[in-house]
Amino acid sequence: MKTTILTAIALLTRLANHGNIQANTSVALVMPLEKPSTPNYNGPYRPQIHFSPIQHFMNDPNGLFLDAEGTYHLYYQYNPTDVVAGNQHWGHATSSDLYHWVTQPVAISPPTLDSQVFSGSVIVDVNNTSGFFPNQTNGVVAIYTLNTPRAQVQEIAYSHDGGYTFARYAGDPVIDSNSTQFRDPKVIWHEETERWVMAIAYAQELVIGFYTSPNLKTWTHASNFTHHGFLGLQYECPNLIRMPVRDPRTHQLLDDSKYVLTISINPGAPLGGSTTQYFPGAFNGTHFTPVDSATRLTDFAKDNYATQFFFVPASSDAAGSDPLSIAWASNWQYAQAAPTAREGWRSAMSLPRRMFLANVSRAGWDLVSRPADLSPVLGPRLAARDDLGHGAERALTVDYSAVESNALYFEANVSGLPAVALIHPDATLNFTFLNPTTGESVSGGYFFGGDTPFFLDRGRTRGFENPFFTDKFSAAVLPREDGTWTLSGVIDRSMIEVFVDGGAYSATATFFPTQPLTVMRMEAAGLPPEASVNVAIFSLLSAWTDIEPVQEFVRG
């Protein structure tokens, strides 16, 4: 009965969108999907400050934008009928602070039973370049790939109500194709040429194409960027964004900016499966030129894919802030097997991150990422220590079993470090989250001497067995020339994100213990006597506590 009801709902919705309603008319039909009578936001694996769908399967973030009222919109690849990928729609959620999300009705549904709405982006057409919005400055246009058995084509849909409901453009597709591997358009406004610019993947040709348009309806191919970085078996989900440049030590904004092109690859990542790489460079409105031939990754663990940046209109008060992004916190090698299905959902998003470029000593251009302002979910400080690692104060242990969210924020700031050559290779700062009953743990740490590696280890949890679930990750991280080093991180039930050296290096990893991790231990050992280690641990407040989720809907 469940399958029959869901199929009937999907069919009725698609008929309403496709066959019986004009393409330039908003669709009023709203049909509820079956959902649990009480959505389980408190399952042992359910992240409390990371976004996840009420139920079913989610993957790539799509169409991120900030509206004129200060509301953040997150669309995402969503299967509203199962906990595996397929039947792709655009799910939708909104937030005023990037952590407390309200699930909205499904925003865009496929027009036919054999089609799917794949990834894409959203813009705000402030100047009505499209002609869809003669009486408003906040019109929203979605640009996405319609996938069919015959081809992947690019369509647009527009919204007069701020991105909650969409009507398809009568002239779709705006870019036709006979290829089944042509997808994921990301559109930005290029001020200097006064044109819309699209970056799009010719996936299996390993090409990113750039198109331009004056009105979002008529597109002209401008150039290609091909065979750069890790190739894998296909390119996906490109993003092009103007990125501020900051001083790597002070983070002061410099009189410079560059463009960053991100390209996701899957499969074929260095650690297996999917990952996102980026290229700093210049963009003149038609052609992208990287600063060098280096390959750089946004994340050194395994669960950060399809990074997308928020579209923020130039007229917005937030336009001067560092760009904001969200990524899918999983990996295609095991996303459809993750044990969260027993709670009725699969996949979460990364933390929202602010990003900027810095020209780091020896490493060159680096995309620095840090969590967006955590104050909306930051709880009481549980513990702090100013002199960790000296005398009897080698370790700090916190039992957080009473923290309702089972989520923590932690940070460590080290100063007074001498040159690396003068530090013993075993000098370390490390952390462990564990369950004292089962012995399961997630750990990480840094060695200040030798090759200065940072490591993250999720291999001591036993709730998920998969041959591709790589358990250990590392990166070489040099202390700064001023003798300082920093670490911050968030652990959120079944996810951990760490930000090393002020976010110059970051890692995202999911993990699945048989019982919740409830004790944190931070320890320093072997450090030079002149070094100072300050650490602090905070509880995080559940973003789901005060929200009554709206019933899920499919709406055309």
Q: What is the mean pLDDT of each run of 10 residues along the chain (556 residues)?
A: 35 36 33 49 96 97 96 98 97 98 97 97 98 96 98 98 98 98 98 97 98 98 97 97 92 90 97 98 98 96 98 85 97 98 97 95 88 98 90 85 98 95 94 98 96 96 97 92 94 98 96 98 94 97 75 48
d(CA 257, CA 61): 25
pLDDT score for 547: 62
- The token pair that represents 258 in the structure block: 């560059």
CA distances from 69 to 72, 102, 205 (A): 9, 16, 41
Task: Quote the CA–CA distance of 186 and 225 in Å, as a whole number.
Answer: 15
In angstroms, what CA-CA distances link 16 with 21, 22, 28, 31?
6, 9, 9, 11
Q: What is the pLDDT of residue 550?
A: 53
Contact by Cβ (8 Å): 181, 153: no
CA contacts within 13 A on the Cβ side of 346: 25
Confidence at residue 248, expressed as pLDDT on a 0 to 100 scale: 84
Q: What is the pLDDT of residue 556?
A: 39
User: Which residues are within 8 A (CB) of 225 and not within 5 positions of it... i.e. 6 or more apart?
Assistant: 207, 208, 209, 210, 261, 288
Given the DSSP bridges, would you call strands 182-190 and 195-202 parallel, antiparallel or unpaired? antiparallel
Catalytic residue among 60, 184, 492, 501: 60
- Report pLDDT for 363: 73
Burial of 149 (0-12, 13-18, 19+ CB in 10 A): exposed
The pLDDT of residue 390 = 75
- Burial pattern 522-545, b for ≥16 Cβ within 10 A else e, equals bbbebbbeebbbebbbbbbbbbbe
**For 529, left (φ over 0), alpha (ψ -120 to 50), or beta?**
alpha
Closest to 544 measured CA to CA, from 71, 42, 38 = 42
Q: Does the annotation count 60 as an active-site position?
A: yes
Closest CA to 273 of 265, 262, 284, 261: 265
pLDDT at 551: 52
pLDDT of residue 393: 65
Bond preceding residue 47 cis, omega within 30 of 0? no
Q: What is the pLDDT, as a whole number, of residue 548?
A: 56
Task: Give the span between the Cα atoms of 279 and 380, in whole angstroms.
Answer: 39
What's the pLDDT at 546? Answer: 66
Q: Is 335 helix (H, G, I), strand (E, B) or coil?
A: helix
